[in-house]
Amino acid sequence: MLNISNIVKRFGAHVANDGITFNVEAGRIFGLLGPNGAGKTTLIRMITNIIMPDEGSITLDGHPVSAEQQNVIGYLPEERGLYKKLRVGEQLTYFGRLKGLSPAEATRRAHWWLHRLGADG
């Protein structure tokens, strides 16, 4: 399902990822472990197509990662990027709009999820 092949990522003279290769089969749970600065976040950002590798390839279901795969990959970074002055429903609507939903559809889906989770009261 996920194929990482000889991934290299440099930031100036610093090499964040150097020749990383592994596969994750469909239906498996996979974790990246390592100390701070080991390149875990950089690798995840490449898998989710936020940044591009300098060398190597990343494929998901046999296709190179692209903006299209961003809709099927879940990623929750340590820093969530929430806006403190927005209400939860407004945040959900905003994220829906970022994914291409119309304002009305994003609002409708946000209300649906808030209701489903009992957070609309």
In tens, the pLDDT along 11-41 reads: 999 999 999 999 999 888 888 899 999 999 9
**Residue extents of the structural domains in the chain:** 2-71, 82-121
Q: Does 105 score more than 90 pLDDT?
A: yes
pLDDT at residue 75 greater than cutoff 80: no
Which superfamily does CATH assign the domain made up of 2-71 to? Answer: P-loop containing nucleotide triphosphate hydrolases (3.40.50.300)
pLDDT of residue 70: 76
Neighbours of 27 (CB within 10 A): 6
Q: Give how far Cα 110 sits from Cα of 71, 72, 86, 96, Å.
A: 17, 19, 13, 8
In this prediction, residue 72 has a pLDDT band, given cuts at 50, 70 and 90, of confident
